[in-house]
Amino acid sequence: MTHTIAYRAAILDSLGDPAELGLENSYRYFEDGMMVVENGRISALGHAPEIMKGLKSGTKIHHYEDALITPGFIDTHIHYPQTGMIASYGDQLLDWLENYTFPAEQKFADPAHAEQVSEIFLNELMRNGTTTALVFGTVHPQSVDAFFSSAEKRNLRMIAGKVLMDRNAPATLTDTPESGYRDSKALIERWHGKGRLHYAVTPRFAPTSSPEQLATAGQLLREYDGLYMHTHLSENRNEIEWVKALFPEQNGYLDVYDHHNLLGQRSVFAHGVHLCDEECHRLAETDSAIAFCPTSNLFLGSGLFNLPQAEQHKIKVGLGTDVGAGTSFSMLQTINEAYKVMQLQGKKLHPFKSFYLATLGGARALQLEQQVGTLEPGSEADFVVLDYNATPLMSYRMQQAKSLEERLFVLMTLGDDRAVKATFAMGETVYNRD
Ligand code: GUN
Ligand code: ZN
């Protein structure tokens, strides 16, 4: 039996990157819109009066007043094991890892702990309207089993992997090239392509993997189709100097990964704050993606991501919260901080570009734009209902807003989890605020 529901509200999705299409051609908007969901997929989208003519009699219609339906948000870089240490005081990257991150990650040797944090983490993503994420586990394979089990129960499109880390970390948190390879392989066999789940080969970053281990990561990518590669790149100046000292034969940070065949269309590099033109050229040439993580880059004092440079090179870019170095699970708050990162460089970030980055841009960075990231009929029905009146201040400010772009900008600047009224995955409610 087919299961059909229609949703009526203002509806917005992205058609492409404003940097390529121009602002006016980059989005699709229906002030009184209707989206029809059939068996978990979007089957129609348009102006409500027109779509309604085609509805079978008896089709249930959910009408949201003064709300905006958009695709679910896509977080292209986040660490679920760092949920409990978000907002840790005082350090920049390398000390922060040693003082806060590694102690927190050691607890994931315990599967019960991993299970509990997976649930808290996914509740938080759903409360914030994020329906797809590229997620770091810890070095422990059980951390990834726990995460994928929770995601599978909710039927979410999620990508995750076990950290590969065989040096420059506490002994309790290191694997070896052999055990990392073997454990990754077992997880790939168990989870990759199961339902909506995908596996990412996840070397933490160049300093914590030996050349032998990076070679095994490249080997895994060759052995299986459709795997992702997820790591960190050029986040912090001391980190970059350390990589140069550890890999003197390589021509800089990106080249360490390149040398081990880790670049490609499913490779996602978090940060890329301090890249030269040559590195940008190589990222674009290999169709690799960058996860821009503004709250993290500000919180750890890492630097300002140069989005115009990435645009000039036509590098795929998505937004990442990078929790626990990032300070919010909210993609709206991530956009708010991205805007300020641009302002500090004398640049603007238009609300349509921000919206693109949080939805279709993220989907493209993850090669998932045929499945999620837009409301195109045929897509999986992962979407959010956003509330323009989430707080008294937002409500009052919205009264002065004259255009869609102004309303969108206010929503992104003042909005957070409170502005998410409901979240849907494959047409099912996975979060309902009210
Ligand atoms: N570089 C290596 N590991 C990490 C991490 O856990 N967080 C961030 N922000 N950068 C890293
Ligand atoms: Zn990170």
Which pLDDT score, from 0 to 100, does residue 330 have?
99
Protein residues whose CB sits closer than 6 Å to any atom of ligand 1 = 79, 93, 97, 101, 204-205, 232, 235, 296, 322, 325
- Tokens 């040096």 belong to residue: 167
Q: Express each pLDDT in 351-405 by its tens digit.
A: 999 999 999 999 999 999 999 999 999 999 999 999 999 999 999 999 999 999 9
Task: Decide if pLDDT at 43 tops 80.
Answer: yes
Q: Do 331 and 130 meet the contact criterion of CB atoms below 8 Å apart?
A: yes
Q: Counting atoms of ligand 1 from 1, which one is nearest the CA of 101?
A: 6
Ligand 1 centroid – CA 97 distance (Å)? 7
Model confidence pLDDT, tens digit, residues 318-329: 999 999 999 999
pLDDT digits 0-9 by tens, 248-272: 999 999 999 999 999 999 999 999 9
**Candidate of 96, 165, 232 to mutate for ligand 1, largest count of ligand atoms within 8 Å of Cβ:** 232
Q: Give me the chain's average pLDDT, please.
A: 98
Class for domain 73-329, per CATH? alpha beta
Q: What is the mean pLDDT of residues 286-290?
A: 99
Q: Among 76, 79, 209, say which to mutate for ligand 1: greatest number of ligand atoms within 8 Å of CB.
A: 79
Q: What is the CATH number of domain 4-72+374-432?
A: 2.30.40.10
| Furthest C-alpha separation in the chain | 70
The closest ligand to the CA of 301 turns out to be 1
Q: How many H-runs (helices) and E-runs (strands) does the chain carry?
A: 18, 16
Q: 41: part of which helix (H) or strand (E)? A: strand 41-47
pTM for this entry: 0.99
pLDDT of residue 229 exceeding 80: yes
Quote the pLDDT of residue 2: 78
- pLDDT number for residue 1: 66
pLDDT (tens digit per residue) in 171-193: 999 999 999 999 999 999 999 99
Instruction: Work out the percent of the chain whose per-residue pLDDT is above 70.
Output: 100
Ligand 1 nearest atom to the CA of residue 79, by list position: 6
Question: Average of pLDDT values for 131-157?
Answer: 98
- Closest by alpha carbon to 202, among 214, 192, 194, 193? 214
Q: Quick one: pLDDT band at residue 133, thresholds 50, 70, 90?
A: very high
pLDDT at 433 > cutoff 70 = yes
Tell me the C-alpha distance between 89 and 383, whole Å: 34
Q: What is the dihedral of CA 178, 184, 190, 191, to 10 degrees?
A: -170
- Residues 408-414 have a mean pLDDT of 98
DSSP strands (E only) in 272-416: 289-292, 316-319, 383-387
Residue extents of the structural domains in the chain: 4-72+374-432, 73-329
Looking at 245-360, which runs of residues are DSSP E strands?
Answer: 267-271, 289-292, 316-319
Q: For 18, how many CA atoms within 13 A lie in the half-sphere containing its CB?
A: 19
409 neighbors 384 (Cβ within 8 angstroms): no
